[in-house]
Each structure stands twice: as structure tokens, then as C-alpha cells.
Amino acid sequence: MMELNLSGAPDADLIKDSDEASFMQDVVEASQTTPIVVDFWAPWCGPCKTLGPQLEAAVKAAKGAVKMVKVNVDEAQMIAGQLQIQSIPTVYAFHKGQPIDGFQGAQPESEIKAFIDRVVKSAGGEAPGEQLDEAVAAAEEMLAEGAAADAAQTFAAILGEDPLHAGAYGGMVRSYLALDDLDQAEALLNGAPIEISNAPELEAAHAQLELARQAADAGPVAELTAAVEANPEDNQARFDLAQALYANGDAEAAVDHLLDIFKRDREWNEGAAKTQLFTIFDALKPNDPVVLNGRRKLSSMIFA
């Protein structure tokens, strides 16, 4: 089991309020050692009430690689004028006493995280997003090597740091699929945060779950192959054979049989062959040769 070493400064040391009297010390001088993100806000500013907590969460996730100072512009009009702040919320990042990045207005959570990553990297630190991505890569390696239980624990630890990390969430679902715990995998997918529910990583995990459910009911390959050879026009037998082949790890042959059905009768069983093809494509990696070749062949048939 991999240990995540993401410890850092206590939250109380990361975020503070400042004003004109202490701005030089809290921001300009403090940024000589650690980049400082300054949130210019006001009590009457609606978007500030959303951005502020999101920014605080991203700063805390950086575990001390960046700190945050909050400045009420109503009480710091001279500072706001010097920095030419035209509207709020406005966010500036300072390093070595100088502004190095910034933005105005409310932002999606993903953009806020990307901003914090940029600030940390520009100051020579390791961005929290990169740190978590490295942990995800290590967990994926565990999963590929068959250590699904350890992978699931590592993915869970990553989600403890960032509950909206789609890569880690999808990886945890696939870990339970590898452990043959389909019910737990389905429960995780059903309980996914709305912000990442449509992420490609979760779409892939959902497709893999659907295929795993099918695999439990798949027939024997030898018997189905014989049935198809005896009657090549039997689309149902060919469809069942494709499911059995995929369940036995032969995705390429499964795709070939589904393409054969589509070529013979694209509307058979309400377009079941095309639907199954897309499920397989979603379950595999986008750059998998089976996906690339299958999509190309399917497109040529559709637009022929």
C-alpha cells in the first residue's frame, strides 16, 4: 500500500486577513519565501462568497506550498488603487514581492485548482495536482499488476485529498471491478459527486461495469462459435459470441463480430451492435488500437 506524503503547514497558518497597515508584511515580505495568493473581496460582493471558500480549499490542498491573504477592499482602498483593481473578486498571486499571476471574477473549481498549480510551479514548488497525479499513476500500476485491494486503498487516500479527482474515482471503481465486487463498484458510480459524474474516467468505469455484468451471463465461446459457423446469418448468436469473447479478454474479435452484425443489418435489435461497440470503445483507452481501428471501420460503414 502506497503512503501519500502530502503533509504540510496547518490550515490556520495558511490563510489570514490583512489590511493596508499589514499588507507589506503579510504579502510583499511574506512572498519572499512562499507565494501568497491575495483575495480582494467585499462583504457586499455576491461572487466573493462563492470564490473565497473555493480558493481557501485549493490553498489548503496545496499543503503549505502557497498561502492566502484576504483583503477587504472597502478597508484597503489605497492598495486596491495601487494595484488598479477595477472589480471584485480579484485575485493576485505574489512571489518575491511581485504579482506573478491573477484573475478577476468567479471561476470554475477546476480553473481555481489550475491557478494554484501554476502559482506553486512558478515558485519552484511541486504543484498539488501533479503530486496527486503521480499517486494515481502509482495506483494504476498496482491495479495493472493485480494488487487491486492496495490500488483501491490508494485511490481512496487520493480522494481524501481531492474528492473531485475523476482519475482517482474512476480508478477506485475499476479496482472493485477487478476484485469482482460489482455491487460496490455500482454503488460508487451511483454516488459519484455531480461535478465529475460525466467525466471520461467515470464514463469508462461505467462501461466496464456494464461489460462485467454481461460477462457474468456470457455463454461458452466454443459453443457460440460453432453456432455462428453453422449459421452466419444468426445475429443473436454472433452478438452472444461477441460478449463471450470480450468476457474472455479478446476485445478485438468481439469488435469484429459486432462490426459484422452492423454491416449485415445496422438496425438489428434496435441497433444493439452499434450500442455494444460504443460500450466497448468507452471501456477501453481512447488510444487503444482496438478502439482506433474499430471506430474507423464503423465510421466507414456509417458514411458509406
Residues forming the active site: 45, 48
**Distances 195 to 11, 74, 155, 174, 264 between C-alpha atoms, Å:** 25, 34, 18, 19, 41
Would you state the cell numbers that stand for residue 215, as one nine-digit string?
Answer: 460477462
Beta-carbon count within 10 A of 82 CB: 11
Dihedral of alpha carbons 37, 43, 45, 48, sign:
positive
- Rounded to whole angstroms, how far apart are CA atoms 277 and 262? 10
Element (H or E) spanning 155, and its range? helix 148-161
Would you state the cell numbers that stand for residue 288, as one nine-digit string?
Answer: 487503444
Cβ atoms of 241 and 218 closer than 8 Å? no
Element (H or E) spanning 15, and its range? strand 15-18
Task: Give the closest residue to 139 by CA, choosing from 126, 127, 157.
Answer: 157
How many residues are recorded in the chain? 304
Rounded (10°) angle between helices 166-178 and 200-216? 10
Would you state the cell numbers that stand for residue 139, as one nine-digit string?
Answer: 495506483
Cβ atoms of 35 and 66 closer than 8 Å? yes
- Rounded to whole angstroms, how far apart are CA atoms 83 and 92? 9
What pairs with residue 98 in β-bridges? 95
- Rounded to whole angstroms, how far apart are CA atoms 137 and 223? 40
